[in-house]
Structure 1
Amino acid sequence: MSIYSKLTDTDLAALLTQSNRLAFAEIYDRYKGILFVHAYRRLANSEEAEDVIHDLFINLWNKREDLNIKNHMSGYLYTALRNRIFDVISRKKIESAYMASIDLNLVASAYITDHKVRESELAKIIEKEIAALPEKMREVFLLSRKQNLNHKEIAEKLGISEQTVSKQITRALRILRMRLGIVVYIIYIFKLH
């Protein structure tokens, strides 16, 4: 049992704002299970629940220096989780509406202009989500997808390991899949190749 497991949430939050990785690990271990159960109950999909939890903790770490958790870590995490669940549900509705509109466009080919407008809007949404990726992750992802560099070339260009490149691309794809919905994600990935 580590000394961190004996600390209060308030103490862990204070250490987290100081970039203490062990405090972060303790928060993760303390809350990941119960947060997953809560997310799974709402989303009824274990992969989506895992992605939401993963995104929540990435965001917690990325914003650690700006955190202002005065009362309860659990309340903060549940609120952040609830907001992410709402985002997933909202994206599903948008995806469903988008798929319905695609069906209509296939039937009524006279509306090609409308399709092009939607495609342009979709491209803007995708670009916006790519721009929202953490800086290093975005840089690696863009070098891979836009400049078609392989992992070795990216690693040499950025002075990082190929394994880091691979992890960054995998994480970027997971985040984009979660944020954009699987159908939009697949369309985007196939357009790149």
Structure 2
Amino acid sequence: MITNKPLNDTALLFDLKNGSVKAFDEIYGRYKRPITINLFALLKDRDLVEETLQELFCRLWEKRGNIDPQQSVQAYLYRIAGNLVNDHFRNIAKNRRLAARFWEVIQAQTQSQPEADIQKAMDEALFRTIEQLPPQCQRVFKLCKIEGKSYEEVSTILGISVSAVKDNIIRANRFLHAHYSYEAVTAVFLVTSYVLKDLN
């Protein structure tokens, strides 16, 4: 009875180098499980392990022409796996450094940004917020707080009672207190956002 003996590493890699799909499937079948276990011990994430495993065997096939058939299949695969894991952790470290650098630059840029630019951004944010007020409330607020008119003067100009003027100011103040901070922070961030180019 004739039995097919499993090919040794040299024969497998030689056939793979010559484009044998059968040799590739044999290597995949032999080493997928142990490599998966090893990757999971390092990465602790099933989806990431699956992606890494897929990338590993894609590289094996794509670079088959450069393979040295005299080397160990296992050592070759584990070297690719190790490089992929190292790349993953380097990218994590790079992203963390980038995030830290981003906030450092934003903070420094905000501090060094000309005060006129910051003030302009905050003033524009304030006026955008005021424009969200109801028409009458907006008119009262602008006359009192921006033009500096008294409640009595505003009452005469708009033909409403002083009490109505006060009520509108209270409503406006409550609205601005609730909405202006977000507008202002967003405005200052947009003023300084161009510094992102410094991170490239």
TM-score by length of 1: 0.54
2:25 match: 25
Q: 1:63 is matched by which residue type in structure 2?
A: K
After superposition, residues 163-182 of structure 1 pair within 5 angstroms as none
Q: How many residues align?
A: 117
Equivalent residue, structure 2, for 1:67 = 67
For 2:91 and 2:21, the matched residues in 1 are separated by 32
Asked whether the equivalents of residues 11 and 69 of structure 2 are also in contact (C-alpha less than 8 Å), the reply is: no
Q: Deviations over 1:16-61 (max 9, x none)?
A: 0010111101111111111111111111112222211111111110
Query: Residue 116 of structure 1 aligns with which residue?
Result: 197
- What's the CA shift string for 1:80-137, capped at 9, x where partnerless? 111111111111111111222333445455364541122xx2xxxxxxxxxxxxxxxx
Tell me the residue number matched to 1:98: 98
Return the letter of the residue paired with 2:71. N
Once the two structures are superposed, the pairs formed by residues 29-178 of structure 1 within 5 Å of their partners are 29-110=29-110, 112-118=193-199, 121=200
- C-alpha distance in structure 2 between counterparts of 1:7 and 1:69, whole Å: 12
Dislocated runs of 4+, deviation >4 Å: 105-109
Distance (Å, rounded) in 2 between the aligned partners of 1:4 and 1:77: 24
Consecutive unaligned residues in structure 2, runs of 5 or more: 111-191
2-side partners of 1:93 and 1:8: how far apart?
A: 40
Q: Distance in 1 between matches of 2:4 and 2:89?
A: 35
Q: Are 2:9 and 2:69, in contact at CA under 8 Å, matched by a contact in 1?
A: no
**Equivalent pairs: percent with the same residue?**
25
Give 1:12's aligned amino acid. Answer: L
- The structure-2 alpha-carbon separation of the partners of 1:13 and 1:36, relative to structure 1 and needing over 3 Å to count, comes to same
Partner Cα separation in structure 2 for residue 117 and residue 52 of structure 1: 32
Q: Which residue of 1 aligns with 2:121?
A: none
CA distance in 2, matches of 1:26, 1:51: 20
Is contact 2:10–2:69 with CA below 8 Å preserved after alignment? yes
Cα RMSD after superposing both structures: 2.2
Aligned-pair distance for 1:15?
A: 0.5
The residue type paired with residue 10 of structure 1 is T
| Structure number with larger C-alpha Rg | 2
